[in-house]
Structure 1
Amino acid sequence: MPEMPLVLSALALLGVVAILILLLRPKPAAPVALPDPRIDALSGQLQQLAAHQAGSQEAMDRRLTEFGNRVADRLQQSSHEAGKSLSELKERLAVIDEAQKKLDGLAGQMVGLQDILSNKQSRGAFGEIQLADLVRDVLPAANYEFQATLPSGKRVDCLLRLPNPPGSIGIDAKFPLEAYRSLREAKDDIATKLAQREFTTAIRTHVKAIAEKYILPGTTADSALMFLPSEAVYAELHSNFPNLVEEAGRAKVWIVSPTTMMATLTTIRAVLRDVNMREQAHVIQTKVRELLQDINRLDDRVEKLQNHFNQANEDVRQIRISTDKVTKRAEQIESVELEDQGKVTPLPLPERMPG
C-alpha cells in the first residue's frame, strides 16, 4: 500500500519530537541541604591536615636544600682532590717519561758499547781511553806519556816516567774479549776445554809480547804492566787461571784491572812525592844554613846597635855634667856684690874640675 511509508514517516517524526520535549523539559529544583556539624569538624581536620602538610613540605624543602648544598660542597671538594691527584699524576708521569728517555739513551749507549766491543780495533781504543783516563786522574802530566816511542822503535800505550829505581814502566792495554766470551758461552765440557785453551793462548801471547817489547834493560824498569779494561775478565783470570798469573809474574809482567790499576797509580804517586821530598832535602838544608847565617849577622848588628846606644847614653851623661858645672858658675857670677868705691871684691878661684 502506498500510504504505509507516509504513516511510518509520520510516526517516526512524532517520536523524535517527543524525545526532544522530554529532553528540553526543565528539571525540578534540588532540595536545600541543611548544615551538618560533622561536615564542619571534617572540614577543620582537613584544614589542619593541609597546614601540617604545608609545614612538612616546607621542612622537606629546607632539608632538600641543605642536602643539595652538602652534595655540592662534597662534589666541589672531590673535584679539587681529583684535580690535585691528576696534577700529581701528571708530575709522576713526567718523571717516568724522563726516566724512560734516560733508559732509552742508556740502551742506545749499550748498543753503541756493544758495537765498540764487537770490533777488535775499537775494543783496543776503548781500553787505551780507559787507561788514559785513569792515569790522568792520578799522576802529574810530567810523569807519563801516551803512545811513547821507545829506543827500540816500539810504541807503548802508556809510559810512566819514574826515577831510578825502578825507572820508566810501560803499560799496554789488552782486551781478550773473544776468548772470554767463548769461555762464558761454552755449553759442554769439550767446548769449555777449547775455550780455556783459547783464553790461555791469548793471555800467554799478550804477556810474551809485552815482556819482549816493553822491558828493555838500561832503558825501562825490569817489569811492565798489562791492563785489562774489564773487571770480569780480570776476575775470571785470577779465579780459574792462577797458573797464567804466576807465569806473567815470572815474566815480570803484572796484570792489572781498572781497580788494581787505580791502587797501583796511587802508590806510584806516593813514591813520587817521597822521591821529590828526598831530592829537595839538600835544597832545604842549604836554605836552613843560609837562614842561620842571616840570623847570626842580624845578632851582630843588634849588638853593634846596642853598643852605639850605650855610648850615646854615656855621651848624654857627660853633657849633663858639663851643663851642671856651667849652671853653677853662672850662679856664682850672678851672686858677686860690687863695693861702693867701685872696687870689685875678688872672688876665690874655684878648684879646677875635671872636664
Structure 2
Amino acid sequence: MDPVIVLVIILGGLIILGFLINKRLVDLAEGQKPSDELLEIIKMLQEGSKEDRKVLLSSLQKNTQSLNERLDAASRVIGQVQRNVGEMSEIGRGMKDLQEFLRSPKIRGNVGEQVLKELLSQILPKKSFNLQHTFKSGEKVDAAIITSAGIIPVDSKFPMENFRKMTSAESETEKKTHSKQFERDVKRHIDVISKKYILTEEGTIDYALMYIPAESVYYEVVNSPTLFDYGAAKRVLPVSPTTFYAYLRAILMSFEGQKIEQKAREILAAIRAIQKDYNKVEDNISKLQRHLNNAYNMMSNVLTSFTQLGQKITSTQSLGHGVKEEVKKLKE
C-alpha cells in the first residue's frame, strides 16, 4: 500500500481517538469528577498523541515532497511525450502530403527517374552509362549501362495506384479486383520495356531491367509467380533500389576486372616486346661471337704463316752464309 495512504489512515484514526477522548471528558465533567488515575492516563495519551502527530506530520511532509518531485518528473515526461506526439503528427501530415504529391503518375515517374540517376551516379563511372538514351526509333530509355557485352537498358516504372488500392482494400473481393488491375499494370509496363528497349541490333543485350523505386511494390511483383514468369518470358528483370544497388556493384566489379584484364594484356604485350628485343640481341651477340671466332682463327693463321715465313727467311740467310764460306774457301 502507498505510504501516503497509510499515513492518512493513521492521522484519521488519531483524530477520531482524540474526538472520543474529548467527548468522554465532557461526559465525566458533567457527571462526576474523574479520578487521579484516569487523569494521568488521559495526560499520557495526550502527550503520546502530540509526539505521534509530530512524527506523522514530519513523515507526511517528506512523502508529500517526494510525491511532488515525482509529479514534477511525470509532468516533464508528459510534456516530452506531448512534444513527440506533436512531431509524429507533423510527420504524419508530411507523409500524407507526400502521398497526395505522388498520386500524379508523371510526378511518380520523375521521382523514380531521379532516384535511378542518383544510384547510377554514386556507383558507376560517368562514362559507363547514359541517361535518356535514344534509340534509332526515337524511343528514350531512362538509362543505358554500357558494358563489354552490350548495352543494358534500365527503365523506371512506378505502378503505385492500384497497388495502394489493393493494400488498403477492406474486403477480400475488393482486394482481388485491385490485385488483378495491379497485375495488368505491371504486365503492360513489362510489354513496353521488352518491345521498345531490347534491341540487340542496336547493341543492347537480350534483356532489360525494370527499376521499381518502392520496395513494397517490388516485392509484390517478385512474389507473384505469374508476374515473375511473365517478366522472365519477356526478358525483363524487375529490380528495387536494394537489388539494383547489388546489381550495380556486380557490374562495377566486372568493370574493375576488365581494367585488370586490360592491364594484364598490356603487361603481356610489353613482356613479348622485351622477349623479341632479347632474341634480336641474342642473335647479334651470336653473330659477333662468330665474327670474333673467325677473326681469331684468321689471326692464328696469319701468325702461323708469318712464323713460317720468318723461319724460311732465317733458313735462306743460313744458306747464304754457307755459300759465302764455300766461295771464300775456293778463292784460297
TM-score band, normalised by shorter chain: 0.5 to 0.7
Change in CA separation of 1:71 and 1:225 when aligned onto 2, cut-off 3 Å: same
Change in CA separation of 1:55 and 1:250 when aligned onto 2, cut-off 3 Å: closer
Letter aligned with residue 256 of structure 2: R
Of 143, 155, 158, 1:175 maps to 158
- Corresponding residue for 2:81? 96
- Corresponding residue for 1:147? 132
Query: In the aligned structure 2, how far is the partner of 1:253 from the partner of 1:203?
Result: 11
* TM, length-normalised to structure 2: 0.58
- 1:282 deviation in Å? 4.4
* Structure 1 residues not aligned, in runs of 5+: 1-45, 290-355
Of 150, 159, 177, 2:144 maps to 159
Query: In the aligned structure 2, how far is the partner of 1:259 from the partner of 1:248?
Result: 19
RMSD value, Cα: 3.8
- Corresponding residue for 2:36? 49
Residue pairs, 1:1-355, within 5 angstroms: 49=36, 53=39, 57=43, 59-60=44-45, 62-150=47-135, 152-160=137-145, 162-165=146-149, 167-181=150-164, 185=169, 192=176, 196=180, 198-216=181-199, 217-242=201-226, 244-282=227-265
- 1:94 deviation in Å? 2.7
* Identity between Structure 1 and Structure 2 (%): 25
* 3-state SS of paired residue (1:118): coil
- 1:164 deviation in Å? 0.8
Letter aligned with residue 132 of structure 2: Q
- 1:110 deviation in Å? 2.3
Letter aligned with residue 229 of structure 1: P
- Whether the aligned pair in 1 keeps the contact of 2:163 and 2:178 (CA below 8 Å) is no
- Corresponding residue for 2:285? none
- Whether the aligned pair in 2 keeps the contact of 1:157 and 1:171 (CA below 8 Å) is yes
Query: In the aligned structure 1, how far is the partner of 2:266 from the partner of 2:50?
Result: 100
* TM, length-normalised to structure 1: 0.55
Q: Which one has the largest radius of gyration?
A: 1
Letter aligned with residue 206 of structure 2: D
Letter aligned with residue 49 of structure 1: D
* 3-state SS of paired residue (1:156): strand
* Structure 2 residues not aligned, in runs of 5+: 1-32, 273-332
Query: In the aligned structure 2, how far is the partner of 1:69 from the partner of 1:132?
Result: 79
Letter aligned with residue 163 of structure 1: T
Query: In the aligned structure 2, how far is the partner of 1:288 from the partner of 1:90?
Result: 81
- 1:191 deviation in Å? 9.0
